[in-house]
Amino acid sequence: MDNKVAEGVFFLTGKDFSNAGAASSNLKGVLEGMSVQPDIIRRAAIAAFEAEMNVIIYAVAGMMHYYITPETIRIVVKDMGSGIPDIGLAMTEGYSTAPDYIREMGFGSGMGLPNIKKNTDRLDLDSVVGGGTTLEFIIYLNKDSKGAKNETL
């Protein structure tokens, strides 16, 4: 990729399904513009999209920050939501508290957080019940860093 850095933020509104995914789409465009490898773009876009959908589905509002350097893509998603009581359970494939109307849209199958973990190299999830959730993940751009996959920050 180009030897550039980039940083930005997207504001996310809960239940705004008409714009759900727009932030991740924009982020994907930024990465394409920086000539990041397509497989890495896909991983970053999928992780960002799942995180964005979690904010849209579960929170009142949130922000997605991205920081891109020649070495890493770091994304931090903070939301004003009800928080996650049991993070271990939330990370379990198939566990979901989504209501039926979310499932009818094709989401809420309990694959979001596991899917984010699968597509990222480092993941940190911090949540306070009643105080919101902060999700941070990193994808390394250099193959040398692959050994660090699925570390916890």
Partner 1 sequence: MTLDEIKNTLNAAVLSKREDMNLNIVRAYCADLMSDVLAFSITNSLLITHLTNAQVIRTAEIADVKTIVFVQSKRPDIETIALADTKNIPLLVTDLSMYEACGKLYEKGLRS
Q: Which of 17, 72, 82, 134 binds partner 1 (CB under 8 A)?
A: 17
Structural contact between residues 68 and 31, judged by C-beta atoms closer than 8 angstroms:
yes
Structure tokens at 51: 């995180």
Please give the DSSP secondary-structure letter assigned to residue 59. Answer: -
Q: Which of 18, 100, 147, 152 binds partner 1 (CB under 8 A)?
A: 18
Radius of gyration of the chain (CA): 15
Judged by CB under 8 A, does residue 89 bind partner 1?
Answer: no
Judged by CB under 8 A, does residue 42 bind partner 1?
Answer: yes
Judged by CB under 8 A, does residue 122 bind partner 1?
Answer: no
Which residue is listed with tokens 């789409």? 25
Judged by CB under 8 A, does residue 62 bind partner 1?
Answer: no
Judged by CB under 8 A, does residue 24 bind partner 1?
Answer: yes
Which range, of 5-13, 14-22, 75-83, 123-131, touches partner 1 by CB under 8 A? Answer: 14-22
Q: What is the 3-state secondary structure (H, E, C) of 50-102?
A: HHHHHHHHHCCEEEEEEEECCCEEEEEEEEECCCCCCHHHHCCCCCCCCCHHH
Residues that bind partner 1 (CB under 8 A): 17-18, 20-22, 24-25, 28, 38-39, 42, 45-46, 49-50, 53, 105-107, 109-112, 114-115, 118
